[in-house]
């Protein structure tokens, strides 16, 4: 165990974690040079295309007599749950800071979580290849000082590296071996969670105990659990007991991430790898669960359960419907498999008059939703239509409190609408402070306090989650050329000045287009919606109104024009006049009948267009 080091790389988004990991893979000969490609650990197509890490990625490397288990983590705040799970599986972390950006919000947030998990954290400044001029020296040494102050080290303990050129990377890896402690038992997990106490697993008969920190599905081997072994040995001769579903299964295979899965004889204390459980039912695996292997399981096995993770709470909800009705089963299966690989998702069946049967899916944030929609399309080949993202509202009526997600569920009579609030921390370099102020009103900030953090300003405030979900991210980025950054946590509920807006086409409310909007911007948004509908809907046989309605009052209207059409062609000779009159009368009657039950068919494709930002 003394020759094992488990560590992760943590940083703000884009500070170069995956690129640094590339150099580690090269130095240790884990990936052959001819197979190397940039951000090698970003294996999903989507990760490669967007240039961001979505999933944590474990890899086992061997280097000068050591086994080094590295976990690369995502930087975006929507994927904080991935980071927290990686933290529980390792003893150390490299906190990477992009020299061109300096310390940003997720640098702070991730560092704080790593410390709270009891990790040894090494500070490193990345992208120093871009700072080679003599006048850059001052910038770098100032940043070195800031990072040292943050992680609590001396300035010269903050490494200067370039993931691009490889400069300083080998020295950093040597320091990981020196400074990160060898794997320890699970007491670190128990310390955080004082209610449980470990009852000495080592007494058990030759088996092993591991924390499941991730999972995925293999068509041949079934549910695969990514694990950190805390005690003993796990091998394919044994059975595995999964604590949460209280199930025992014969182990099919165990192995390491190289980073592709590679079978091995066993997994031992301190190691990171996978267990092929042979289980086909994806609902049996729970992230944070304890896997206990043994030839025979004793009765008191339950007392060996490790403290798992705090369950993530989805806060943004979107319903997905298959674009083709026949794909409902495919959507269902795909979501179940996705959930296995992304335990933060929640799924439950849903129904919509226009879109048919689908699923309501819960997410940790907007990017998480966008990424999932894309993964459905690419990895599972399901084309879907989705509704507007919504949050969980609490409705006060004169009798009770209701919890609703869809605006359609709002009762006719109610007293107040309450919405979820986040505690946000925005880190702004001085140059951009002015540009951030206007956003505070636009995104309904309250309880604003500011603090200086080194030479930057940290704005702390409360803000409706719905605003965060709309497009705070983009607006902040564009106002500050990407230099301001933020992190957030869900805080509380507050009474909201918002109203329900319905969209009506030809007099009928279109299900799925109703939304809660802030009272002061509702007119503008309603106008935008009806205009967009007018552009999108095909011309109808008869002119039809498109309206937006708030509290029984119409606040915006457009009309879909009628198709110009010829009312019967009776030839040059005009034909028989009475026949013509008769036909006209018939057409008029038909027109009235049609108009009285005019229905504009809103297809999934049209819906998709409308939901786009
Ligand atoms: N010049 C220079 N560019 C770098 C260096 N390291 C990374 N980059 C670039 O920075 C960008 C982000 O790199 P990634 O490695 O994907 O960053 P990341 O931290 O893994 O990003 P997320 O996982 O999405 O949080 C890419 O365009 C890299 O090419 C470096 O040392 N020097
Ligand atoms: Mg990355």
**pLDDT per residue as tens digits for the range 497-519:** 999 999 998 888 888 889 999 99
126 lines ligand 1 (CB under 6 A): yes
Rounded Cα gap, residues 130 and 535, in angstroms = 48
DSSP 3-state of 358? strand
- pLDDT tier at 193, thresholds 50, 70, 90: low
Q: Report the pLDDT value the prediction gives residue 83, as an integer from 0 to 100.
A: 92
Q: Does residue 34 have a pLDDT over 70?
A: yes
Q: Which atom of ligand 1 is nearest to the CA of 165?
A: 31
Q: Which bound ligand lies closest to the C-alpha atom of 129?
A: 1
Q: Which bound ligand lies closest to the C-alpha atom of 128?
A: 1
Residue 387 CB neighbours (<10 A): 23
Rounded Cα gap, residues 541 and 450, in angstroms = 59
What are 216-221's contacts with CB under 8 Å, separation 24+? 216/340, 216/341, 217/282, 217/337, 217/340, 217/341, 218/261, 218/276, 221/252, 221/253, 221/276, 221/278
The percent of residues above 70 in pLDDT, for the chain, comes to 92
Q: Which atom of ligand 1 is nearest to the CA of 13?
A: 25
* Residues 112-124, mean pLDDT to the nearest whole number: 94
Q: Which atom of ligand 1 is nearest to the CA of 11?
A: 19
Q: What separation in Å is there between the alpha carbon of 516 and the centre of ligand 1?
A: 38
**pLDDT per residue as tens digits for the range 560-613:** 888 765 555 555 555 566 777 777 777 666 655 555 445 677 777 777 777 775
Rounded Cα gap, residues 389 and 363, in angstroms = 9
Q: What separation in Å is there between the alpha carbon of 16 and the centre of ligand 1?
A: 3
80 lines ligand 1 (CB under 6 A): no
130 lines ligand 1 (CB under 6 A): yes
* Residues 263-272, mean pLDDT to the nearest whole number: 96
Residue 537 CB neighbours (<10 A): 21
Q: Does residue 151 have a pLDDT over 80?
A: yes
Q: Which helix (H) or strand (E) holds 592?
A: helix 577-596
Q: What separation in Å is there between the alpha carbon of 417 and the centre of ligand 2?
A: 39
Q: Does residue 121 have a pLDDT over 90?
A: yes
Q: Does residue 332 have a pLDDT over 80?
A: yes
Q: Which bound ligand lies closest to the C-alpha atom of 11?
A: 1
* Residues 33-54, mean pLDDT to the nearest whole number: 91
Write the residue with the smallest CA distance to atom 8 of ligand 1.
Answer: 16
**pLDDT per residue as tens digits for the range 377-432:** 888 999 898 888 999 999 999 999 999 999 989 998 999 999 999 999 999 998 99
Sign of the four-CA dihedral 169, 170, 174, 180: positive
Q: Does residue 5 have a pLDDT over 70?
A: yes
12 lines ligand 1 (CB under 6 A): no
Q: Report the pLDDT value the prediction gives residue 172, as an integer from 0 to 100.
A: 98
The DSSP output letter for 102 is: -
Q: Report the pLDDT value the prediction gives residue 551, as an integer from 0 to 100.
A: 87
Q: Does residue 357 have a pLDDT over 90?
A: yes
Residue 217 · residue 340 · CB < 8 Å: yes
Mean pLDDT across the chain, nearest whole number?
Answer: 88
DSSP assignment string, 262-318: EEES-EETT-EEEEE-----GGG--TT-EEEEESS--GGGGGGPPP--PPP---EEE
Q: Which bound ligand lies closest to the C-alpha atom of 76?
A: 1
Q: Report the pLDDT value the prediction gives residue 596, as an integer from 0 to 100.
A: 46
Q: Of the ranges 35-44, 336-345, 396-405, 561-570, which one carries the lowest mean pLDDT score? A: 561-570
* Residues 133-145, mean pLDDT to the nearest whole number: 93
Q: What separation in Å is there between the alpha carbon of 190 and the centre of ligand 2?
A: 30
Q: Which atom of ligand 1 is nearest to the CA of 163?
A: 31
Rounded Cα gap, residues 330 and 336, in angstroms = 10
- pLDDT tier at 265, thresholds 50, 70, 90: very high
129 lines ligand 1 (CB under 6 A): yes
Q: What separation in Å is there between the alpha carbon of 8 and the centre of ligand 2?
A: 12
**pLDDT per residue as tens digits for the range 219-240:** 889 899 999 999 899 999 999 9
Q: Does residue 296 have a pLDDT over 90?
A: no
Structure token digits, residue 78: 């929507």
Q: Does residue 125 have a pLDDT over 90?
A: yes
Kindly tell me the burial class for residue 423, based on how many C-beta atoms sit within 10 Å of its own C-beta (0-12, 13-18, 19 or more).
middle
11 lines ligand 1 (CB under 6 A): yes
Rounded Cα gap, residues 520 and 522, in angstroms = 6
Which mutation among 12, 17, 19, 101 tests ligand 1's pocket best, with the greatest number of atoms within 8 A of CB?
19
74 lines ligand 1 (CB under 6 A): yes
Residue 74 · residue 54 · CB < 8 Å: yes
Q: Report the pLDDT value the prediction gives residue 145, as an integer from 0 to 100.
A: 96
Residue 107 · residue 12 · CB < 8 Å: yes
Structure token digits, residue 463: 């803000």
52 lines ligand 1 (CB under 6 A): yes
Nearest to 305 by CA among 212, 243, 385: 243
- pLDDT tier at 156, thresholds 50, 70, 90: very high
163 lines ligand 1 (CB under 6 A): yes
**pLDDT per residue as tens digits for the range 60-115:** 999 999 999 999 999 988 888 899 899 999 999 999 999 999 999 899 989 999 99
Q: Which bound ligand lies closest to the C-alpha atom of 22?
A: 1
Q: Report the pLDDT value the prediction gives residue 597, as an integer from 0 to 100.
A: 46
Q: What separation in Å is there between the alpha carbon of 72 and the centre of ligand 2?
A: 7
Rounded Cα gap, residues 92 and 86, in angstroms = 10
Q: What separation in Å is there between the alpha carbon of 310 and the centre of ligand 1?
A: 30
Alpha-helix runs per DSSP H in 129-288: 136-151, 169-179, 187-192
Q: What separation in Å is there between the alpha carbon of 444 and the centre of ligand 2?
A: 32
Q: Which atom of ligand 1 is nearest to the CA of 53?
A: 23
- pLDDT tier at 199, thresholds 50, 70, 90: low
The DSSP output letter for 51 is: T
């Amino acid at each position: 165990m003394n020759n094992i080091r488990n560590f992760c790389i943590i940083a703000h988004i884009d500070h170069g974690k995956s690129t640094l990991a590339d150099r580690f893979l090269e130095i240790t000969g884990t990936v052959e040079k001819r197979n190397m490609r940039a951000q090698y650990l970003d294996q999903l197509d989507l990760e490669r295309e967007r240039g961001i890490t979505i999933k944590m990625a474990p890899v086992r490397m061997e280097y000068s007599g050591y086994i080094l288990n590295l976990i690369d983590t995502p930087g975006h705040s929507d994927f904080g749950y991935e980071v927290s799970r990686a933290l529980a599986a390792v003893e150390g972390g490299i906190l990477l800071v992009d020299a061109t950006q300096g310390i940003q919000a997720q640098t702070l947030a991730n560092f704080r979580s790593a410390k709270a998990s009891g990790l040894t954290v090494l500070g490193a400044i990345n992208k120093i290849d871009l700072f080679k001029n003599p006048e850059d020296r001052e910038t770098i040494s100032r940043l070195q000082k800031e990072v040292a102050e943050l992680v609590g080290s001396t300035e010269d303990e903050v490494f200067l590296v370039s993931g691009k050129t490889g400069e300083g990377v080998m020295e950093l890896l040597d320091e990981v071996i020196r400074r990160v402690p060898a794997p320890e038992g699970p007491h670190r997990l128990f310390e955080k969670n004082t209610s449980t106490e470990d009852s000495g697993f080592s007494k058990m008969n030759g088996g092993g105990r591991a924390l499941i920190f991730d999972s995925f599905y293999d068509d041949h081997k079934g549910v695969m659990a990514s694990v950190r072994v805390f005690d003993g040995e796990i091998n394919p001769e044994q059975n595995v007991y999964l604590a949460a579903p209280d199930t025992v299964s014969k182990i099919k295979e165990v192995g390491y991430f190289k980073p592709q899965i590679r079978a091995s004889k066993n997994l031992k204390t301190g190691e990171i790898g996978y267990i092929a459980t042979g289980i086909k039912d994806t609902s049996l695996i729970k992230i944070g669960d304890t896997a206990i292997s043994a030839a025979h399981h004793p009765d008191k096995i339950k007392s060996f359960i490790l403290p798992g993770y705090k369950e993530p709470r989805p806060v943004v909800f979107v319903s997905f419907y298959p674009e083709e009705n026949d794909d409902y089963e495919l959507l269902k299966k795909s979501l179940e498999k996705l959930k296995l690989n992304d335990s933060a998702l929640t799924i439950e069946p849903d129904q919509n008059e226009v879109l048919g049967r689908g699923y309501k899916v819960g997410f940790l944030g907007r990017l998480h939703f966008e990424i999932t929609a894309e993964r459905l399309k690419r990895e599972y080949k399901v084309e879907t239509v989705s509704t507007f993202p919504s949050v969980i509202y609490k409705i006060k009526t004169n009798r009770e409190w209701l919890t609703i997600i869809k605006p359609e569920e709002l009762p006719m009579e109610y007293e107040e609408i309450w919405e979820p609030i986040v505690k946000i921390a925005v880190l702004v370099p001085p140059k951009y402070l002015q540009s951030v102020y206007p956003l505070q009103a636009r995104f309904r900030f309250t309880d604003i306090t500011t603090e200086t953090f080194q030479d930057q300003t940290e704005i702390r405030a409360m803000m409706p989650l719905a605003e965060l979900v709309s497009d705070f991210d983009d607006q902040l980025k564009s106002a500050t050329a990407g230099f301001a950054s933020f992190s957030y946590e869900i805080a509380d509920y507050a009474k909201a000045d918002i109203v329900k807006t319905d969209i009506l086409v030809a007099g009928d409310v279109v299900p799925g287009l109703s939304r809660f909007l802030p009272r002061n911007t509702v007119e503008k948004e309603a106008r935008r919606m009806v205009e967009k509908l007018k552009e999108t809907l095909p011309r109808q046989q008869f002119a039809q109104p498109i309206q937006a309605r708030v509290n029984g009052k119409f606040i915006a209207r457009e009309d879909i024009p009628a198709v110009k059409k010829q009312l019967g062609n009776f030839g040059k000779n005009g034909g028989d006049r009475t026949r013509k009159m008769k036909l006209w009368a018939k057409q008029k009657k038909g027109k009235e009948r049609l108009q009285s039950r005019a229905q504009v068919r809103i297809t999934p494709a049209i819906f998709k267009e409308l939901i786009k930002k």
